[in-house]
Amino acid sequence: MTSSLEDHARKYFGEAIDAYARGSKGMETHAVSQCLPAVAALELDESYASIVLTARMDNLLGRIIEYGAGRQGNAQDMLFSNDSPASTFSSKTKLAFFLGFLTPLMKNAIDDCRGIRNAYAHSDSPEAGRSGKKYIGRKQALLSRDPNLTTRAIEHIRSFADPAINRTDDEVAVTAIMVQICDRLDSVAAMNQLNGSSYLPKVIPAFYGFADAPPLHVE
């Protein structure tokens, strides 16, 4: 039987998960969930990992909007159901950007990720997806948006990978960047859940790389 991503999360991050959870099943579940983007990048081919990771981005954008905006009424009914303004990954991205939760560079990077996912989803095979012009253009754009972030993302994934997994930097770059985007979106979603705290700004944007970070403002 093929092991689940949760099993692989424990293989790579078991000690850290246990230290975080300290015996709490709820905390363990949360810790495993936080590891899943990196595990998807390590264990799955890019064609499959891109689907898992963009689905994660989709869910996180929904959380960012739900917790960061006004929260009047039921978010599922008013924002995320089939005929609502944020029912798709694309519309969530646009709405989050309009509301100030994404910087322009982060928004463009997420659009690249969605384009890569779509290239695979609309092709007969992973090989056909990778050879298409839309995939190639989106991948080139994503890898070049912040070369320093691309390098750090690859190094980060390689620090966890089994040395026996023989993948080139080019083969891991896309999913490595997607993991970084998921991490940033997750941080903003968590911060927005705390937006009642007086020391937090009203809108916390997700920025793509260090050069894209908003200036620190202290009143």
13 found inside a domain: no
Give yes or no for residue 94 having a pLDDT over 50. yes
31 found inside a domain: no
Give 206's DSSP letter.
B
Q: What is the pLDDT of residues 126-163, one digit of tens each?
A: 999 999 999 999 999 999 999 999 999 999 888 876 65
Helix (H, G, I), strand (E, B) or coil at 70: coil
Place of tokens 């960047």: 177
Domain containing residue 192:
44-212
61 found inside a domain: yes
32 found inside a domain: no
28 or 210: which leads in pLDDT: 28
| Number of domains within the chain | 1
Q: What is the pLDDT of residues 154-203, one digit of tens each?
A: 998 888 766 556 788 899 999 999 999 999 999 898 888 776 444 445 56
Tell whether pTM > 0.85. Answer: no
149 found inside a domain: yes
35 found inside a domain: no
The number of CA neighbours under 13 Å toward the Cβ of 198 is 1
The CATH number of the domain holding residue 72 is: 1.20.120
Q: Which of 23-37, 56-70, 95-109 has the lowest mean pLDDT?
A: 23-37
Measured from the Cβ of residue 78, the count of other Cβ atoms closer than 10 Å reads 13
- Per mean pLDDT, which of 94-108, 162-176, 204-218 is the most reliable? 94-108
List all residues 6 or more positions away from 25 whose beta carbon is below 8 Å from its beta carbon.
none
Give yes or no for residue 117 having a pLDDT over 90. yes
153 found inside a domain: yes
Q: What are the backbone dihedrals phi and psi of residue 206, each rounded to the nearest 5 degrees, phi first?
A: -85, 120
